[in-house]
């Protein structure tokens, strides 16, 4: 992705052939508005870290006794809720529209946060986290779908990257507010406001033209496209391209079950599920959810809250950098670099925690954990964070893309639930160093998986990729 594509202009450009180019500003604004939902989802993910080691701050602020096991459920139930919405939100978005589907998700978002704000029992925390997770998972599917359907192909990659970027901004926001306020109930109130801000801004945005065409409302599709491209732009050619793409999908006539029997579809599922497995088993969500816990356990000289802010900032900057290089370096090479470094960093974190428990080697440099942890998040944010999601529409044929992508999303969140739910149990069983060595082992296996099974998709058409997978 070239740097010049990042710029936003309010001008309607005229190309050298005399044709009026589309305005970009309405597309960028709508893309940012849609991904405010991702920011709200990121705050759900980041909320757990300021709760303190094993939820000690949460228990203190609410005057509720919370056991280690109960806190592991509080931390992980949001991911279970997110997984539960991966498939239903696709159906809902097709029935009532992408915009409306995202807007109504504000209702469960608000209900979930209210349950957390007014919680007087662990059970209320459970329900609140699960329900906020439902909305967070919905945005993970609906927001990228919305941005993909409103963007010109030249800036689709940039708009598509906004989701991951805003998700990390939301995580960082939870870290920052948690450090400043030091009260979990007040932090929850701030988190509850974000979905309402999203609603107020996104309500003003148009529905996608592709949705209107799917419903047979061509005039509404034309008006929608004009809003995104400007009055002077001739939208007919783009409308025709959308019509032909939809018609081609209808003409294929193959059922989903027939389509998944092809070698390309089978390999696609192996690649998709494999990438999602190794993404989550790298331990990334444990690091994000429990980063404050990790630094407390390390006895770091740096305040755990400050350390998590450093971690969150590194992640945001890294995601932004990743949007600039992914189309230049290619998917496969970034995946390989990412998972090799992740393997080394979790191995190093394991060594660090082992030495803390058994030697005095790190007693005077307890801040050392920041180095491998931040390095891990840098390479994850550039490679194994965004690229598995980016490759989903690239490796599946149109007739299986919807269900295949949703099922891979569901699998991803289920794996995230397992890792975050049992992180505390793993620490109890094999200590912090053993836990990170387990994550390291998965990344080592993932390196072999990527090297032998994951193809390069950069610069290739869908037909080329399908032929390669069928070969």
For residues 134-168, one letter each, b for 16 or more C-beta atoms within 10 angstroms of the residue's C-beta and e for the rest, the string is bbbbbbbbbbbbbbbbbbeeebbbbbbbbbbbbbb
- DSSP code at position 363: T
Question: What is the rounded CA–CA span in Å between residue 376 and residue 34?
Answer: 28
- For the chain, give percent helix, strand, coil, nearest 5: 80, 0, 20
Extents of the domains making up the chain: 21-205, 259-470
* Helix, coil or strand: residue 20: strand
Question: What is the rounded CA–CA span in Å between residue 409 and residue 141?
Answer: 8
Beta-bridge partners for 20: 14
With CA atoms as reference, report the closest residue to 307 among 384, 380, 366. 366
> For position 256, what pLDDT does the model report?
61
> For position 5, what pLDDT does the model report?
37
> For position 81, what pLDDT does the model report?
94
> For position 458, what pLDDT does the model report?
79
* Helix, coil or strand: residue 12: coil
What architecture does CATH give domain 21-205?
Up-down Bundle (1.20)
Q: Which CATH topology does 259-470 take?
A: Growth Hormone; Chain: A; (1.20.1250)
Question: What is the rounded CA–CA span in Å between residue 370 and residue 368?
Answer: 5
Question: What is the rounded CA–CA span in Å between residue 264 and residue 470?
Answer: 5
> For position 397, what pLDDT does the model report?
73
For residue range 272-324, list pLDDT tens digits in order: 999 999 999 998 877 776 666 666 655 556 677 777 788 888 889 988 887 77
> For position 77, what pLDDT does the model report?
94
With CA atoms as reference, report the closest residue to 372 among 354, 338, 336, 347. 347
Question: What is the rounded CA–CA span in Å between residue 11 and residue 30?
Answer: 17
Contacts of 338 (CB under 8 A, 6+ apart): 379, 380, 382, 383, 384, 387
With CA atoms as reference, report the closest residue to 389 among 415, 412, 420. 412
Domains 21-205 and 259-470 share a fold: yes
> For position 11, what pLDDT does the model report?
40
> For position 369, what pLDDT does the model report?
78
> For position 203, what pLDDT does the model report?
96
Q: 152 near 94, Cβ under 8 Å?
A: no
Distance of CA 378 to the CA centre of its chain: 15
> For position 6, what pLDDT does the model report?
35
pTM check: above 0.85: no
> For position 289, what pLDDT does the model report?
61
pLDDT < 50 positions in the chain: 1-18
């Amino acid at each position: 992705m070239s740097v010049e594509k990042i710029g936003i202009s309010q001008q309607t450009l005229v190309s050298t052939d005399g044709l009026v180019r589309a305005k970009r500003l309405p597309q960028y604004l709508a893309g940012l508005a849609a991904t405010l939902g991702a920011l709200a989802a990121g705050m759900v993910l980041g909320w757990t870290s300021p709760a303190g080691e094993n939820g000690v701050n949460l228990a203190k602020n609410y005057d509720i006794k919370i056991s280690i096991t109960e806190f592991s459920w509080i931390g992980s139930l949001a991911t279970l809720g997110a997984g539960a919405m991966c498939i239903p939100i696709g159906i809902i978005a097709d029935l009532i529209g992408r915009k409306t589907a995202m807007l109504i998700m504000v209702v469960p978002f608000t209900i979930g946060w209210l349950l957390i704000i007014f919680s007087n029992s662990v059970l209320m925390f459970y329900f609140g986290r699960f329900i906020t997770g439902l909305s967070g998972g919905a945005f993970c599917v609906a927001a990228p779908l919305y941005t993909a359907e409103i963007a010109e192909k030249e800036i689709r990659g940039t708009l598509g990257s906004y989701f991951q970027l805003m998700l990390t901004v939301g995580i960082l926001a939870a870290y920052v507010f948690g450090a400043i306020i030091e009260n979990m109930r007040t932090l929850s109130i701030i988190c509850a406001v974000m979905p309402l801000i999203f609603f107020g801004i996104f309500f003003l945005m148009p529905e996608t033209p592709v949705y209107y065409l799917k419903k047979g409302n061509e005039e509404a599709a034309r008006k929608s496209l004009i809003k995104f491209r400007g009055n002077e732009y001739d939208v007919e050619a783009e409308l025709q391209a959308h019509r032909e793409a939809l018609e081609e999908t209808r003409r294929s006539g193959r059922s989903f079950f027939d389509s998944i029997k092809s070698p390309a579809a089978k390999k696609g599922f192996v690649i998709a599920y494999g990438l999602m497995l190794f993404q989550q088993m790298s331990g990334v969500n444990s690091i994000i959810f429990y980063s404050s816990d990790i630094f407390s356990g390390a006895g770091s000289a740096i305040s755990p809250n400050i350390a998590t802010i450093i971690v969150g900032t590194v992640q945001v900057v890294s995601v932004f950098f990743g949007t600039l290089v992914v189309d230049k370096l290619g998917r496969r090479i970034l995946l390989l670099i990412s998972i090799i470094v992740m393997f080394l960093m979790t191995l190093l974190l394991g060594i660090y925690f082992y030495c803390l428990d058994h030697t005095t080697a790190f007693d005077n440099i307890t801040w050392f954990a920041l180095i491998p942890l931040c390095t891990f998040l840098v390479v994850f944010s550039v490679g194994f964070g965004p690229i598995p999601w980016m490759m989903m529409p690239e490796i599946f044929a149109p007739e299986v893309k919807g269900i295949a992508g949703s099922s891979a999303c569901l699998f991803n969140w289920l794996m995230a639930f397992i890792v975050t739910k049992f992180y505390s149990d793993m620490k109890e069983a094999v200590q912090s160093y053993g836990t990170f060595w387990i994550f390291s082992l998965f990344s080592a296996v993932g390196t072999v998986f990527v090297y032998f099974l994951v193809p390069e998709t950069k610069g290739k058409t869908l037909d080329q990729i399908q032929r390669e997978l069928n070969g």
